[in-house]
Amino acid sequence: MSIIQTTNLYSNSTAFNTAVVFRTSAGAENGTLCKAWVSFRGTSTVVIRADFNVNSVTDLGPGQYRVNFSSSVTANYAPVVTASYEANEVTSCVLRSGTYSTTQFAIATFIATVGDRDASIVTAAVFR
């Protein structure tokens, strides 16, 4: 087993929003760090709090958001989404079906007993 210790890890690309890629000794991609992530306020006017490789978040209606990438990501990525409300309510946050592409995906936030509802904070991370 080998151990690598470093203070900084850099992408070999000069392109903005390029994630570091891990490769096998044969050069095949073996994984990456997060391809994109975002944390945003989903109430009133949507405001991005912090992000990487996210150009914008579009408000599609109560509890409905579209995350738009700055740079396209490879197909078959794995988005992880969460949402929270200020009140102590049980919430759900899911990917909206049929909205998954290399340039964007959509999120739905809701409360089972209420229906679609804007969330105070929504987060998403994309891995491949």
Residues near 7 by beta carbon (within 8 Å), at least 6 away in sequence: none
What is residue 5's predicted lDDT score, i.e. its pLDDT?
72
Number of domains in the chain: 1
User: What pTM does this model have?
Assistant: 0.79
Tell me the two tokens of residue 14.
Answer: 């000069």
- Asked whether the predicted pLDDT for residue 124 surpasses 60, the reply is yes
Q: In terms of residue numbers, what domain contains 71?
A: 34-127
Residues near 41 by beta carbon (within 8 Å), at least 6 away in sequence: 47, 49, 120, 121, 122
Q: Residue 115 domain-assigned?
A: yes
3-state DSSP helix/strand/coil percent for the chain, to nearest 5?
0, 50, 50
Q: How distant is the alpha carbon of residue 93 from its chain centre?
A: 13
Q: Residue 1 domain-assigned?
A: no
Q: Residue 17 domain-assigned?
A: no
Q: Residue 9 domain-assigned?
A: no
Tell me the two tokens of residue 76.
Answer: 């078959």
pLDDT tens, residue by residue, 57-113: 999 999 999 999 999 998 889 999 999 887 666 678 888 877 789 999 999 999 888
What is residue 58's predicted lDDT score, i.e. its pLDDT?
97
- Asked whether the predicted pLDDT for residue 9 surpasses 90, the reply is no
Q: Residue 10 domain-assigned?
A: no
- Asked whether the predicted pLDDT for residue 11 surpasses 80, the reply is no
Closest to 71 measured CA to CA, from 48, 57, 47, 55 = 55
Q: How many residues does the chain have?
A: 128
Residues pairing with 108 in the sheet: 64, 94
pLDDT tens, residue by residue, 22-59: 777 887 877 777 889 999 999 989 999 999 999 999 99
Q: Residue 88 domain-assigned?
A: yes
Q: Residue 56 domain-assigned?
A: yes
pLDDT tier at 18 (50, 70, 90 boundaries)? low
Q: Residue 43 domain-assigned?
A: yes
